[in-house]
Structure 1
Amino acid sequence: MNKRKLFLVYLLNCIAGVSIGFYCLQRNAETGAWVLVSVVMVLAPDRDDAVKFDFNRIKANLIGALTGLLLTLIHPSNVHTMALGVLLAATICEFLNVKSATRSATVAVILISLAPAGKTFYEVAAARAIGVGSGCSIALSLTLLSHAIIPVFRKKAEHYSSQFGNFE
């Protein structure tokens, strides 16, 4: 499949992901926002690396979200817990051999740790962690689904091409 068609598949995945994320945003603003952000962050335009990229981004987001959530449960966010969270997330990425995900994981720690005024850190961290996990799952599902559908369409196109001639 040529690069333009693969890019079209990526764009369709983005449209589907944004639509699902926006629906989640309408249902629950705090969690839905993180679903939306995570879907777009995890989707990848390159078919060859898409699944590997998705898994690395999922690992990064989950490492960051869980690290931020756990530290928030231990102590409300301050410079020390954020710094510790960044160190822990980077160390976990190194230990799990997902160095390409380190930056995303450390950013996720900080984003999970920030709480807007009027909400507890626990509520915000839990909502963001749930949103990140859900968004990553949606993006991975879209990627796997589109990669499963592409060969089916390719076989049908080859079948019709062999029966009726190539019209390209």
Structure 2
Amino acid sequence: MGGPNQSLVIYIVKCVIGTLAVFAISSLIHYKNLGWALISVILVLSPEGDDTVNIAINRIKANVIGAGVGLFCLLTGYSNMWTMCLAVTITLVVSHYFNLDTSTRSALAATVIIMLHQEGTHLWSTAIERVIAVFAGGALGFVITFVFHLFYKPAPKTAETILPKEQSPF
């Protein structure tokens, strides 16, 4: 397969496989709140490229940072606007410290996922459930990325693939 849309097609296939896998696994274990795992798997996946596995690893590291910061901030006993702002700030600082600036959106998403909870639900059981979902989605995204990287190597970039020839209307 070649052409300008090749990486788009591969990205679509990876995202669809990730989505189907989350639904299948959730069905097998009778887990109903699969939204957080879906978000995490999609955030870890990326379009095909030479550094796809490194990107996935960095996004998983970012998810770990975000989930950890979210849990840490929940230790204050408050989940409000100020705690969320503190969690976002800490997430950005820690991500920067570990040179994960390109993956901070994944870290921030994980932080927000962990920090939010519905009224009437037990704060800690909800937070732990979401941490597990974030980690499971991230791990699934990494496995998909790794398998694709094993079996499919992108073609080396040439001048034609970088700068396609102009097509004549005749």
Fold shared by both chains (TM-score > 0.5):
yes
Q: 1:64 — aligned with what?
A: 66
1:8 aligns to 2:12 (yes or no): no
Shift in alpha-carbon separation, 1:52–1:23, aligned structure 2, 3 A:
same
* 1:107-157 per-position Cα deviation (integer Å, ceiling 9, x unaligned): 322221110122111111111111111101101111111111125xx9xxx
Q: 1:37 — aligned with what?
A: 39
1:62 and 1:46 map into 2 onto residues whose CA distance is 23
Q: 2:105 — aligned with what?
A: 103
Q: 1:28 — aligned with what?
A: 31
Q: For structure 1, which segment, 109-118 or 72-81, has the greater mean C-alpha deviation from structure 2 after superposition?
A: 72-81
**Runs of 4+ in structure 1 displaced over 6 angstroms?**
none
TM-score (norm 2): 0.78
2:37 and 2:25 map into 1 onto residues whose CA distance is 7
Q: 2:129 — aligned with what?
A: 127
2:149 and 2:139 map into 1 onto residues whose CA distance is 15
1:17 and 1:107 map into 2 onto residues whose CA distance is 18
Q: Decide whether the 8 Å contact of 1:113 with 1:121 is kept in 2.
A: no
Q: Could you say which structure has the greater relative contact order, defined with CA pairs below 8 angstroms and 6 or more residues apart? A: 2
1:22 and 1:76 map into 2 onto residues whose CA distance is 32
* 1:66-102 per-position Cα deviation (integer Å, ceiling 9, x unaligned): 1112221342312232122112111111110111122
Deviation at 1:52, TM superposition (A): 2.3
Identity of aligned residues (%): 32
2:91 and 2:25 map into 1 onto residues whose CA distance is 27
Which among 75, 78, 101 is matched to residue 76 of structure 1?
Answer: 78
Which residue identity is paired with 1:143?
Answer: T
Deviation at 1:51, TM superposition (A): 1.6
What are the residue-to-residue correspondences of 1:44-55 with 2, within 5 Å? Answer: 44-55=46-57
1:15 and 1:108 map into 2 onto residues whose CA distance is 21
Which among 83, 101, 113 is matched to residue 115 of structure 2?
Answer: 113
Q: Alpha carbon RMSD of aligned pairs, Å?
A: 2.0
Q: 1:166 — aligned with what?
A: none
Q: Decide whether the 8 Å contact of 1:34 with 1:131 is kept in 2.
A: yes
Which structure features the higher share of helix residues? Answer: 1
* 1:25-63 per-position Cα deviation (integer Å, ceiling 9, x unaligned): 442123x22111111111111322322221222122221
1:91 aligns to 2:121 (yes or no): no
Q: 1:164 — aligned with what?
A: none
